[in-house]
Structure 1
Amino acid sequence: MTVHSLDRIKIPVATWAGFHHLGISPQDVVRKAQLPLTILSESVEVTTAQYFAIWSAVSELISDAAVGIIRFISGLNPAQLPPSVLAPYHARDYRDALSRIARYKQLCYPERLHITEDGELCTIELEFLYTEQPEPPILVYLTLASLLQLGRIGSGHRFPAKSVEFSHPNPLGDVEALEDYFGCGIKFGAKNNRLTLHRSDLDRHFVTYNAELLDILVPSLEKSLDDKQRSKSTTEIVKWIIKRSLDGGRPDVQIIAGELGMSERTLQRRLTDEGTSFKHLLSDARREKAREYLADPSLDIKEVAFLLGYEDKSSFYRAFRLWEGDTPSNWRAEQLGITEGRQDMDSFTKDSSLTGMNF
């Protein structure tokens, strides 16, 4: 699997220290994850895949993941938190804290938070970046629980969540303990990992508010974030987002620009300055994903077309002919060494809806 060039994570000291509260050592976790002990050094960065391996190892080393994450969060020492996580604890209110954690968390964790306020509710959906691997359930527990803990510590009130949803189908550990912590019922096998709050709780003033500390931390965090975003080309970032966003839909340039915190015009200008365009990147991303999907013989050609965001099979065939000079079925047959590959093309050319098409 290709590692994305932005997929670099520095594990905070607080994480390694937190394992001691679970009765396990960082060394045991790293060995269980089959990773080199050198990653225990503060200067070493890991990939999302390695980060997932670490938390999967933690889940195997403790007896109850639900109880474990509650113990982990309760034992965290704020003094050991990185500035990107420390700053939100000193925000003006819970809404401000969530905005800051969503913005700065990407400096040290492979996560993106999608926060939506609608009516009386606020939903926070969790997305892990730079990977197509399923995330370890214990890590999802920890992330959503820590977001609620942020509001509770900052405000000094132990308010409940409205609801919690996990995408993995089966509970991991003591569900009652987890429900008691969140203060609400928990749904498993949901479409997304989601924490839903009462919107009124976002107005809770933080007793830990420290404007002077924020004045010190924020400029440095903004510079680090800007440096990280500028360290790689806009082209590379946009192409990765397009690939992630395909899955049966056509990525929208305006939505992607919003994800990057810029206007559509600014995004298009930056891509032009780098000698490309959104349309070109969309085609390029589809081509790369098409080759990947077609290498999987279990996927039908129609299914591949759908996954790439094409409305019909014929549109996909036209695009693929431009990319590779051959049909998808013939290309697959050649790559997989299958002599029967042309059968799909034969049936395709007989489709009355394609009469008159030039290949």
Structure 2
Amino acid sequence: MKSDRIKFPAGFLAGLQRLGIAPHDLARKARLPLTILTEPAEVTTAQYFRIWQAYTDLVGDTASGIIKLSTTFETAQYPPTVLATYHARDYRDALNRMARYKQLCPPESLRITEEGRRCTIELEWMRSEQPGPPVLVGTTLAFLLELGRRGTGKHLTAQSVEFSHSMGDVATLEAYFGCPIRIGATGNRLTLHRGDLDRLFLSYNQELLEILTPALDRSLAEQCSRSMADMVKWILKRSLTGGRLDIRAVASELGMSDRTLQRRLTDECTTFKQLLTQARHEQAKEYLADLKLDIKEVAFLVGYDDQNSFYRAFRLWEGDTPSNWRSKNFRVNPAVIESLT
């Protein structure tokens, strides 16, 4: 089971700002807290898709949004998973590393097939019934070509590109990919000239790869062994302010039925209700550590409609009020605590 944890690279926001898109505008359009974008955070699949759709709405044409973001992202701001591809030995090595380490960055995955003079890369999803926004699909495939261009220093072109949905101005995409674009296909595919895969990367860095590869492989192994309870609790923590905290919604995020999820949790000696309580408790303490947040805001952030309900729950968890707990654990001036309640 793949994790539903998705982390936006730090360079994502920097790229948007170079395009003239402010983080608060994107957060407002996506109907998400600004902290999800401005702090090192992970999001659920649903939140991830909303951010990409918000970007589309702000940038206008899908095709131009794809090209702008793919070419604006600076290599110096690549996350480790992408650095391990940019500094690969050749284009083939880079693509294979990208497909492997994409497992650390769901919900999309890549399937690479080499046949004859063609190399086809197909974009797949953890749940085929919930495909990603067109701009995410296009940016993912465009970045694979951009990776080859930056690594080899050559203006590589594709043989063909297929998209299952409308992607905006097709002529813009054809100019970028250097090949015909087919809309309405059965899947989303980038087909490269197989000979280009043998091209060496000018950015090859063996020493850096010897550092990155073991660390990424360990992360991959740890993710594959993560318990179902951990994944459920993580999804709940990222969804507390958005409502829909029932087991059916979380099961949908994980691509299974609510009955299957409950059975998996029972096997791990826990229940959905227990995990929801734990998620609220842990997040409440985390938010209370941030003295910029008042108690009413903390109550809202952990999914309580009113402050009194939050107070009652917190007393059950810690045997004390949120204000007193904050004061005892963070040595805050009582006058400051009073101003935050």
Shared fold (TM-score greater than 0.5)?
yes
Bin the TM-score by the shorter chain. 0.5 to 0.7
Secondary structure (helix, strand or coil) at the match of 1:143 reads: helix
Change (3 A) 1:221 1:227: same
Give the C-alpha shift of residue 68 in structure 1: 2.1
Give the C-alpha shift of residue 105 in structure 1: 2.1
- Aligned residue pairs: how many? 234
Secondary structure (helix, strand or coil) at the match of 2:122 reads: strand
Secondary structure (helix, strand or coil) at the match of 1:40 reads: helix
1:175-218 residue CA offsets vs partner (Å, 9 max, x unmatched): 21110100001000100000011111111111111101101111
Q: How does 1:31-70 map to 2 (within 5 A)?
A: 31-70=28-67
1:95 maps to a residue whose letter is R
Change (3 A) 1:286 1:22: closer
Write the distance in 1 (CA, Å) between the matches of 2:133 and 2:196.
Answer: 29
Write the distance in 1 (CA, Å) between the matches of 2:204 and 2:33.
Answer: 40
* Aligned residue number for residue 225 of structure 2: 230
1:198 maps to a residue whose letter is H
The answer to whether structure 1 residue 202 and structure 2 residue 197 are counterparts is yes
User: What is the aligned counterpart of 1:193 among 188, 192, 195?
Assistant: 188
Secondary structure (helix, strand or coil) at the match of 1:162 reads: strand
Change (3 A) 1:185 1:87: same
Secondary structure (helix, strand or coil) at the match of 2:4 reads: coil
* Aligned residue number for residue 100 of structure 1: 97
Give the C-alpha shift of residue 62 in structure 1: 1.2
* Aligned residue number for residue 175 of structure 2: 180
Work out which structure has the larger RCO, using CA pairs closer than 8 Å and 6 or more positions apart in sequence.
2
1:45-98 residue CA offsets vs partner (Å, 9 max, x unmatched): 101111110011111111222122212122212221110011100100000000
Larger radius of gyration: 1
* Aligned residue number for residue 144 of structure 2: 147
User: What is the aligned counterpart of 1:18 among 15, 18, 24?
Assistant: 15
**What percentage of residue pairs aligned between the two structures are identical?**
58
Q: CA RMSD in A?
A: 2.1
The answer to whether structure 1 residue 163 and structure 2 residue 160 are counterparts is yes
CA contact (8 A) 1:91 1:97 kept: yes
Change (3 A) 1:10 1:176: same
Give the C-alpha shift of residue 138 in structure 1: 0.6
1:131-181 residue CA offsets vs partner (Å, 9 max, x unmatched): 73232111111000000011111111111100000011x332x22111010
4+ residue runs of structure 1 moved beyond 3 angstroms? 285-289
CA contact (8 A) 1:125 1:193 kept: yes
Q: TM-score, normalised by structure 1?
A: 0.62
Q: How does 1:73-92 map to 2 (within 5 A)?
A: 73-92=70-89
Q: TM-score, normalised by structure 2?
A: 0.65
List gaps (5 residues or longer) in structure 1. 237-284, 290-359
CA contact (8 A) 1:7 1:130 kept: no
Change (3 A) 1:115 1:288: farther
* Aligned residue number for residue 303 of structure 2: none
Write the distance in 2 (CA, Å) between the matches of 1:68 and 1:137.
Answer: 10
Give the C-alpha shift of residue 223 in structure 1: 0.8
2:167 maps to a residue whose letter is P
Secondary structure (helix, strand or coil) at the match of 1:154 reads: helix
